[in-house]
Chain A
């Protein structure tokens, strides 16, 4: 396994951020760690780099025990943090040169490694621009390039596109997809459903510090939401009635603002369909439905 966590717990005082987490990430896949804010995704990422120390449990990254052998693990992995921590005073190239040193890229290979990382992030033309003068999307690409400058076997992406506009997000997805295609193992935390659907081979849904479901996006949808969903709109009383009828028939529902969605709609018996009424809008089930049903949280 590229990553193996067993019974990992992380407490901050009385607050338990990660609660008995078990997680395996096989080499060569992109695993999306999906969950609402506060699910424990970022804390898990920090424990993998030994920037947070687990209260209990065992962590192995690339075969190295963490935190005991974390330095060796960190040498072989790249990290793209949620928070932009580039040095704004330095140029794009200088930022990469510093990290090429820190990642022990040999002197004779350093220049090429920096050139390659700049090319990968489409920043060759802007390599001498101060980070402060780069756009948000360029900075994000540079952050990814910084985590890849030493060609790591494993990349941790913590909310890689949070706060970016859709166009920049799509650009970054292309970059991340390229990594996956190149055989790099990727662990990506996100709370964007579409991001997980587009990029992840498998998704692990986290809630309250543990994984509550795991599988490929399509298998998760099939297991927890079925093939189809019927959305009913109407006044609150009507929505409550729809929920009651569906749940009485053993069908999961999700409430989103002015609508109630009945999951596994393909299994609704004709008698219940009559009771629910003809006003429902039928659509394909999605990972978003699974997320909401399992975590009880709304998606962004």
Chain B
């Protein structure tokens, strides 16, 4: 069939669209912002109070038995470690549950994909929003820690960037799992089988060198461990070479998760 004749009906104002555009990303953020305006109180409460409880419970609970870990006060150790936990929880859960609910129950993604939005733009926009929110919320334990004696440091300004990349990877991981689970109840497997071990062997509440050798090796593969190490170094003093390695780990993790999240979502959304 000739396409010459077809061009006659092409609308003159049909924009020339690139493979990746920021316009749909901004549109999806507009959607998120409208929802956030409605629910920021409950979201902020959960995202900021939960890590604070962790910090106080472990910091004071274990802190009464363990005064120091290495060179750090235990409360400072936990305050910096819980940042990672906060980044994990405030990204992986929205990725999983919002991803699933909007795809399966609300069909929001179907509506968006009928507009000039592609799956990779949709996934990117959702993940960036999750990461941006999480980057801010995850700093709560540092702020709370300062009220309990954590010394302020300029390096703390780097923490939101660390948590952004961490949350980006875990948000995308959540979106990918939302595209592969057969039902919303299947998230129990992901939470218990993946998320909980991730947060336990990340050096959050105890140093990983107290773990058996195999568990230490697993921890090195855990992106959350790299997040926690980066946060501690940002707060207590950078170790440039090691920190570049940690950052590279987080970036590679986010990139891999983007690829599989886009692939998983495309498989589910495009018939």
Contacts and interface: CB of A to CB of B under 8 A. Distances in A.
Q: Do A and B come from one complex?
A: yes
Interface of A: 1-2, 4, 6, 12, 27, 43, 46, 49-53, 58, 60, 62-65, 71-76, 79, 81, 83, 85-90, 94, 97-99, 101-104, 146, 153
Contacts of A46: 271
A1 B4 CA distance: 11
A298 to B, nearest CB: 28
Nearest to A86: B111
B23 A85 contact: no
A98 B116 contact: no
B196 interface: no
A6 B24 CA distance: 31
A74 B116 contact: yes
Given A83-B107, A85-B106, A103-B116, 4 more contacts: A62-B14, A81-B110, A97-B30, A103-B115
A36 B162 CA distance: 56
B107 A104 contact: no
Contacts of B61: none
Interface in B106-122: 106-108, 110-118
Contacts of A43: 271
21 contacts: A1-B6, A4-B1, A51-B113, A51-B269, A60-B6, A63-B10, A65-B3, A72-B14, A74-B116, A74-B117, A75-B116, A79-B115, A81-B114, A85-B108, A87-B35, A90-B34, A97-B30, A98-B28, A98-B30, A102-B23, A102-B28
Contacts of B107: 81, 83, 85
A11 to B, nearest CB: 11
A201 B34 CA distance: 40
A60 B1 contact: yes
Nearest to B6: A63
B34 A49 contact: no
Interface of B: 1, 3, 5-11, 13-17, 23-24, 26-28, 30-31, 34-35, 38, 106-108, 110-118, 269-271
Nearest to A43: B271
Per CB-CB distance, the 9 closest pairs between chain A and chain B, nearest first, are: A101-B27, A85-B107, A63-B10, A52-B271, A63-B6, A102-B27, A79-B114, A102-B115, A75-B116
B13 to A, nearest CB: 8
A6 B2 CA distance: 12
Nearest to A152: B11
B8 A63 contact: yes
Nearest to A103: B115
B27 A49 contact: no
A79 B113 CA distance: 10
Contacts of B117: 74, 102
A104 B15 contact: yes
A247 to B, nearest CB: 41
B110 A51 contact: yes
A86 B108 CA distance: 7
Nearest to A64: B10
Contact of A4 (B6, B26, B114): B6
Contacts of B38: 89-90
Given A6-B1, A63-B3, A88 B106 contact: yes
Nearest to B38: A89
A113 to B, nearest CB: 13
A238 to B, nearest CB: 48
B6 A87 contact: no
A12 B1 CA distance: 26
B84 to A, nearest CB: 31
Given A1-B9, A27-B9, A102-B27, A87 B112 contact: no
A49 B112 CA distance: 11
Contact of A94 (B23, B34, B110): B34
A74 B11 contact: no
Nearest to A69: B17
Given A4-B6, A72-B15, A87-B31, A51 B1 contact: no
Candidate in B1, B8, B269 with the most chain A CB atoms within 10 angstroms: B1
A186 to B, nearest CB: 15
A81 B111 contact: yes
Given A71-B118, A101-B30, A51 B10 contact: no
A85 B111 contact: yes
A130 B4 CA distance: 46
B114 A90 contact: no
A72 B116 contact: yes
A101 B111 CA distance: 13
Contacts of B7: 63
A49 to B, nearest CB: 5
Candidate in B8, B34, B107, B116 with the most chain A CB atoms within 10 angstroms: B116
Nearest to B271: A52
B6 A98 contact: no
A195 to B, nearest CB: 21
B110 A85 contact: yes
